[in-house]
Structure 1
Amino acid sequence: MILENEIGILSFRNEWQKASMSILYTYGFLSNSYESFFRKHGLTTQQYNALRILRDQYPKPVSTSFLREKMLDKMSDASRLVSRLGGKGLVKVTQNAHDKRLVNIVISEEGRKIINDIDKNLHQLDALVQGISEEEAVQLVDLLYKVRQSLRNVNESISSAESIDA
């Protein structure tokens, strides 16, 4: 009854609906906390995520498609994100020598400096979920992996059914 009271629903169809709603509700809290944390550093969560990926690849340049593939939010507009980071001087963007339609993206010295400063405070984000034990965190990660696998399987079957109908 706790979730029902928190979000104002009298009852759920079943425990799967309740689990889905609980994940979405919790995501809102977690997402808002992350955005607030990164805003203090002049970034969005997506911008930090992109810089983290670029730092891990440094000094190797990456494409916008590589960046999009590795982003936590698959719906983010990688081109616009890179443009904003470039405007802040946090990345360097050059045209790909082999394919003029592509760009090469590398984190700048300023971008590395900001992300290294942020790293010193990441423990604040860890604290967001320290209401559960480390063992429970491991279990949660495993359960969420199963949820993602279920989502992939359902989405694949929907896609294949749609292509058959077309």
Structure 2
Amino acid sequence: MNVEKILKTDKKIPLERRTIIHFSLVHNKISDTANAALRPFGVSIQQFNVLRILRGQKGRPANLSTLNERMVTKMSNTTRLVDKLILKGLVDRKVCPSNRRKVEIRITEEGEKMLLQMDKAMEQAENEILANLDRDDLTKLNALLDKF
């Protein structure tokens, strides 16, 4: 990915600025590819993340606080994400019998089935995103990103 070529400039961009622009361009490519993979399922990347968290609960309920803590993208509208997933029949929400202030959220059987299909689509998207990187490149890249 040549930053100057993408920005259509002949001007030399300083290394620090070029690095930040690179991050932004890579973020956009990842988002665009992931969103395209999930589009046929009618879910956003954030909704996909909620479904994966709930699957990881292995049948145990989660509450909004748990979802917020484990989200890749931290956001305050987790309630809205869950509401949309409920309307699609992918999760359900119940009031905890022992503590009526606590809400328990679980992935439905339909949500589990659809998530398996989404996993395949996302795996293809990830392979597309990382196609130009070999294992050694990925190891080095992860080591550099860990410095953040």
- TM-score normalised by L of structure 2: 0.88
1:1-166 to structure 2, matched below 5 A, reads: 2-8=2-8, 10-12=11-13, 14-75=14-75, 77-127=77-127, 128-147=129-148
Q: Which moved more, 1:58-67 or 1:3-12?
A: 3-12
Q: Distance in 2 between matches of 1:76 and 1:136?
A: 35
Runs (4+) off by over 6 Å: none
In 2, are the aligned partners of 1:58 and 1:107 still within 8 Å (CA)?
A: no
How well do the aligned residues superpose, as a CA RMSD in angstroms? 1.9
* Residue 73 of structure 1: how far off its partner (Å): 0.8
Q: Distance in 1 between matches of 2:2 and 2:89?
A: 46
* Residue 95 of structure 1: how far off its partner (Å): 1.2
* Residue 76 of structure 1: how far off its partner (Å): 5.5
SS at match of 1:135: helix
Change (3 A) 1:100 1:16: farther
* Residue 4 of structure 1: how far off its partner (Å): 2.0
Task: State, as a whole percentage, how many aligned pairs show the same letter.
Answer: 31
Change (3 A) 1:98 1:4: farther
Q: Which moved more, 1:87-96 or 1:113-122?
A: 113-122
- TM-score normalised by L of structure 1: 0.79
Residue 102 of structure 1 aligns with an amino acid whose one-letter code is K
Deviations 1:69-97 (A, max 9, x none): 11111126211000000111100101133
Aligned to 1:153: none
SS at match of 1:92: strand
Residue 136 of structure 2 aligns with an amino acid whose one-letter code is E
Aligned residues: 146
Q: Distance in 2 between matches of 1:134 and 1:123?
A: 16
